[in-house]
Structure 1
């Protein structure tokens, strides 16, 4: 096996690795190297260069180089407000900055007044909410089961299962929160697999934290 034949294996291996990575920038970088390896192989190994294959690889190479430039430009232009920066650094670090900006664009900042109801048990809930600053009470079957504060999600279980709200949530004090319409959020995440995986990680961590903090069933029935 000579070096030119190794180029063919390198092209296939790099393509396979590209399909495994979640970051679209690295996917395109690996694809560029795969195209280069493919060009080398198809020019040197056959008795005559396979120009059709080479031309297509050159086209794919150019497309990916352009996309790499656009992605880098997009990532450099991301600027967060103080609130957004705090959320990113505390909860959403597994998102690329430009991905978190996309997430923010489909959400909206809202204020809940004291005693305002944000979710009603067994009723459909249109939004997934994230408390930025404030305090809410969670009630299930008429009993208070938890209090949620900064960094906690509301409606994440309804979002995951597609069902109704599992509890009633009421603000105990003025509460600022970020809300995403479930329909818009699902459309965004379905278009961006890396964001979908990152969001699943964030929601799973939130659910785990709530389960660990929730009192045992026997103590809630007293």
Structure 2
């Protein structure tokens, strides 16, 4: 007994759905789902009474999947960074994916520092986080220079997050270039992105470990 032609469309659609459940790439899963939705349409339209509800809902699901496919392609486009952004990424943010990094950078602003410009004031709170890509920053207390931070170090993060006054002063010893983020914007941005927050926390821990290691080395010397 041969099957009606329309039945073959229904079987083909379900085969594509089975294949979509076996793929790991979400992009291919959505493409198979779209193909299955459209291939089954002739089956619904060929019935003695056209089955409009499944036609309508199949079209809706296909449109949603096509929209998500477009978003995936947009997200997978190569990320092009400016020279300053590439420098900052190489210095401090290699743990992030380029697109994550670009979204984070858009929260901040680029600043050009002149020699002697203060980015941390002793005895005052700070509401921003800074990372230099050019120029070293001197760390001072009561006018005495304690050391210097090379480009790539996080400046003011713990103070910005806790709201405590700074025990030290930070100022550029030479002309520099740095990125500054408002702490409130960083918190709001990372609160909805726990994975990104964890990555940034790991960067902070690494930066703190490097600073402590250098302090210990100076004490030993």
CA RMSD of aligned residues (A): 3.8
Q: Which residue of 2 aligns with 1:92?
A: 93
Aligned ranges for residues 1-222 of structure 1 at < 5 Å?
29=26, 66-67=67-68, 69-76=70-77, 78-140=79-141, 142-215=143-216
- Shift of residue 62 of structure 1? 7.3
Task: Please list every run of 5 or more consecutive structure 2 residues that lacks an aligned counterpart in the other structure.
Answer: 1-20, 34-56
Q: CA separation in 2, counterparts of 1:114 and 1:66?
A: 51
SS in 1 for 2:123: coil
Contact 1:145 1:215 in 2 (8 A): no
Q: CA separation in 1, counterparts of 2:64 and 2:142?
A: 57
TM-score (norm 1): 0.66
- Shift of residue 191 of structure 1? 2.2
SS in 1 for 2:152: coil
TM-score (norm 2): 0.66
- Shift of residue 76 of structure 1? 0.8
Paired residue total: 183
- Shift of residue 140 of structure 1? 3.2
- Shift of residue 164 of structure 1? 2.5
Provide, for residues 173-218 of structure 1, a one-character-per-residue CA deviation record: whole Å limited to 9, x for no partner.
1111100011111111112222211111111111111111115797
Q: CA separation in 2, counterparts of 1:161 and 1:209?
A: 21
Larger Rg: 2
Q: CA separation in 2, counterparts of 1:125 and 1:76?
A: 37
Q: CA separation in 2, counterparts of 1:107 and 1:84?
A: 11
SS in 2 for 1:76: coil
Provide, for residues 47-75 of structure 1, a one-character-per-residue CA deviation record: whole Å limited to 9, x for no partner.
xxxxxxxxx9x988975774354144134
Q: CA separation in 2, counterparts of 1:83 and 1:218?
A: 35
Contact 2:91 2:133 in 1 (8 A): no
- Residue 209 to residue 63, structure 1, CA distance change in 2 (3 Å): farther
Task: Please list every run of 5 or more consecutive structure 1 residues that lacks an aligned counterpart in the other structure.
Answer: 1-10, 12-25, 37-55
